[in-house]
Structure 1
Amino acid sequence: MSRPGAIAPLSKGATVILGNEPILLTPGPLTTSPATRQAMLRDWGSWDAAFNQMTQSVCADLAAIANGGAEYVCVPLQGSGTFSVEAALGTLVPRQGLVLVPNNGAYCARIVRILQRLGIDYLELPLEDDEPVSAAAIEDAFNQHARITHVAQVHLETSAGLLNPLDEIAAVCKRHGKSLIVDAMSSFGALPIDLSRGGIDALISASGKCLEGVPGMGFVIVRRGVLEASEGRSPSLALDLHDQYVYMRETTQWRFTPPTHVIAALRAALDQFLAEGGRAARGARYAKNCEALVEGMRALGFEPFLKPEVQAPVIVTFHAPRDPAYDFKTFYAAVRDAGYVLYPGKLTKMETFRVGCIGAIDANEMRNAVAAIGRTLAALGVRVR
């Protein structure tokens, strides 16, 4: 029997991945459907009208998921989601702007690093890893620092799985006339986000998260007037969101070599997303996955790091066993051999590990994963309690 993920010869000069790869219980890349992977088997020309029409249809569907309407446009960008975060900040924030960054995790801290590299002034609102930001705290910052122009908010802080209250944050930004830029990397497509309510100027996500596409493309759904006012502002050529928007509007093409296979896979993934029932159905499946995971892990003796009221159904952080026999790398490798890929912890004050609930999987697969974890712990002689 071949090992999971083994590569077998197909013919001279060609290989194929066998169909027994492990399930990715990670926040992206994640396990995709056969139909999504199948979509990448065709090559596309970057100037082909059919490919450019596919890009346009993908962008239209992405904007519709967030209920953007005619006021918003979706601008795709090559690269990981972080590329699009940096593009949004570098393009949409004026050089004299001051960005408030509520910080309760590693991806909030990444925004701070981006702003530092861009030379944009920022004000950090420090929070604990299990502490969601409140609208009141943001309003206090507005009252104390009148120069704040923007808020850069991570909706779902993936380092712990923490959900921040986006609707309340958007409402207070709207009331104070501040521009809100939202990193919705791990929430878009699964959790409710409604741009028609106002308060959000830009929303950023990527192809390889809750949409269940493959990595390689980020996108920004941005208020048209805000984007059109940002001409010439970006310090980067490749990450100039305005330039990308204008070029695509005028030519229907990408400025530079597009991620053709990624777009094709995302088109297939979006077709499946819509057939499943859209955002509500996708979110409901992930919620059932999360419930099955937490229930099963608790039965093994594990406790989630977060309280249920702030836990998003996307990725769950668990306290690591205190048994001296426990070593994450050994545990990870053994669970991987059993067919499931976990994720290391990202907290600095305690040892944890994370298990994702997203991807082309269901609650039954989550129960199978928990069973594999239980067998692995027994084989390693690790006690959880």
Structure 2
Amino acid sequence: MAVSDLRIASPKLGEPYLLTPGPLTTSYAVKQAMLKDWGSWDGDFRAMTAELRKRLLDLLGPGSDEFDCVPMQGSGTFAVEAMLASFIPKNGKVLVLANGAYGMRSVETLEYLGREHVVLNKGDYLPPRGEEVANILLEDPDITHVVAIHCETSSGILNPVEEISEVVYAAGRKLLIDSMSAFGAIPLEASQIRYEAMVSSANKCIEGVPGFGFIIARKDELEDARNNSHSLSLDVHAQWAHMNKSGQWRFTPPTHVVAAFLEALRAHELEGGVAGRGGRYKRNRDVMVAGMRELGFETLLDNRWLSPIIVTFFCPTDPNFVFDRFYELMKNKGFIIYPGKLTVVDSFRVGCIGQMDEHVMRNVVAAAREALEEMGVSDASPPAIALEERAKLAS
């Protein structure tokens, strides 16, 4: 299915494009799927849940028969907590690979759970590399699990999970992946990258709406997860066992969200699956980044680490540039961008995912040009310290 054949959503009805890492702009068909009510115990809805689980497993490619899929009510963070609590035993020890807000959120979650952990904190700019992970595991034989973020959307870094996986399993440990903002657009094939479990959400690269996450885990890990969880509602083993026995969710499911997600999964398949979806997002990124650089903006990351999910730009040093004003001007032109999360310099982020194509991204660049002109910003280049920080990554 060519991008030109997609029914790309339009802001003409008053809806701006969401240039965020999710929630994101959805198709009309996905929105329309939520107009019907479903009984959560009914056979038709049980069939919908079964189809959802199968379609998600199919995205793993060869080797998916060793895994099962467990949907979990709530936001993506609910599903991450469910994964950490269910697959890390109470006497386990975790190495968290952090280079942004979401790695540190896993750290905070482990603190709440009372799981022993250590952190490799790479700051805002740098990815964790296999060699340093291997050294930590060699020095600390008590570490049982490693937690990695697939795409750290606070910076836009696409972390090298395949490299990380190789050293984790060479050391005889287990890997859990937070692929919240990458699964469905970045390959995570079971035959290529070893992991015990991964987690994502309905409102990310599959292009559904918020309401549930899902954990995809090895069946033997699911069996071993019994009695690990601290929580009644976030117990992945209990949810999995109940679904396999009855076909139902343990507690009231987000029925409309499930219906919308199934529509999104079908569209994902028609677009060419992970390769097709990821290809469109990469084109979105390349067109948008090239255009923004022509305006003088600089990206936080070198091309090597730019994800096709979201891109971080430094704020211009021009005194006429005020982010809040820039944000409102962009919104008035039909585009909602994302504030930055960096700690050293001011920044903002522009998402590449959702019902958008490269033509929309050209309009994003045009809107940014107009906004700069309206603000009286003649130079979009960042302060020197921003480029100095970026140079650390290149080295």
TM-score scaled by length of structure 2: 0.92
- What is the letter of the counterpart of residue 123 of structure 1? V
Partner of 1:6: none
Partner of 1:134: 129
Aligned with 2:292 (options 282, 297, 301): 297
Q: What is the alpha-carbon distance in structure 2 between the residues aligned to residue 126 and residue 229 of structure 1?
A: 30
Instruction: List runs of 5+ in structure 1 lacking aligned partners.
Output: 1-16
Partner of 2:305: 310
- What is the letter of the counterpart of residue 218 of structure 1? G
State whether residues 319 and 351 of structure 1, in contact with CA within 8 Å, keep that contact through their aligned partners in structure 2.
yes
Aligned with 2:329 (options 334, 337, 347): 334
Q: What is the alpha-carbon distance in structure 2 between the residues aligned to residue 103 and residue 246 of structure 1?
A: 32
Partner of 1:282: 277
- What is the letter of the counterpart of residue 365 of structure 1? V
Partner of 2:346: 351
Instruction: Give secondary structure in 2 for the equivalent of 1:122.
Output: strand
Partner of 1:220: 215
Instruction: List runs of 5+ in structure 2 lacking aligned partners.
Output: 1-10, 382-395
Partner of 1:27: 21
Aligned with 2:43 (options 39, 42, 49): 49
Partner of 1:373: 368
Alignment coverage as a number of residue pairs: 369
**Deviation per CA, 1:142-182, whole angstroms, max 9, x where unpaired?**
11000000001001110010011111111112222211000
Aligned with 1:382 (options 355, 377, 394): 377
Q: What is the alpha-carbon distance in structure 1 between the residues aligned to residue 245 and residue 258 of structure 2?
A: 20
Partner of 2:387: none
Offset of 1:48 from its aligned partner?
A: 1.1
Q: What is the alpha-carbon distance in structure 2 between the residues aligned to residue 79 and residue 378 of structure 1?
A: 42
Q: What is the alpha-carbon distance in structure 2 between the residues aligned to residue 373 and residue 45 of structure 1?
A: 46
The percentage of aligned residue pairs carrying the same residue is: 47
Answer yes or no: is 1:255 the counterpart of 2:257. Answer: no
State whether residues 90 and 118 of structure 1, in contact with CA within 8 Å, keep that contact through their aligned partners in structure 2.
yes
Offset of 1:20 from its aligned partner?
A: 2.6
Q: What is the alpha-carbon distance in structure 2 between the residues aligned to residue 69 and residue 312 of structure 1?
A: 25
- RMSD of Structure 2 on Structure 1 (CA): 1.2
Q: How does 1:65-76 map to 2 (within 5 A)?
A: 65-67=59-61, 68-76=63-71
Aligned with 2:30 (options 20, 31, 36): 36
Instruction: Give secondary structure in 2 for the equivalent of 1:131.
Output: coil
Q: What is the alpha-carbon distance in structure 1 between the residues aligned to residue 184 and residue 121 of structure 2?
A: 28
- What is the letter of the counterpart of residue 142 of structure 1? L
Partner of 2:144: 149
Partner of 2:6: none
**92-101 or 59-68, which deviates more:** 59-68
Moved over 2 A (4+): 17-20, 196-199
Q: What is the alpha-carbon distance in structure 1 between the residues aligned to residue 270 and residue 328 of structure 2?
A: 36
State whether residues 73 and 211 of structure 2, in contact with CA within 8 Å, keep that contact through their aligned partners in structure 1.
yes
Offset of 1:196 from its aligned partner?
A: 2.5
State whether residues 174 and 198 of structure 1, in contact with CA within 8 Å, keep that contact through their aligned partners in structure 2.
no
- What is the letter of the counterpart of residue 373 of structure 1? A
Answer yes or no: is 1:109 the counterpart of 2:104. Answer: yes
State whether residues 162 and 193 of structure 2, in contact with CA within 8 Å, keep that contact through their aligned partners in structure 1.
no
**Deviation per CA, 1:36-61, whole angstroms, max 9, x where unpaired?**
11111111110111111111111111
Q: What is the alpha-carbon distance in structure 2 between the residues aligned to residue 214 and residue 317 of structure 1?
A: 24
State whether residues 310 and 349 of structure 2, in contact with CA within 8 Å, keep that contact through their aligned partners in structure 1.
yes
State whether residues 173 and 199 of structure 1, in contact with CA within 8 Å, keep that contact through their aligned partners in structure 2.
no
Offset of 1:198 from its aligned partner?
A: 5.5
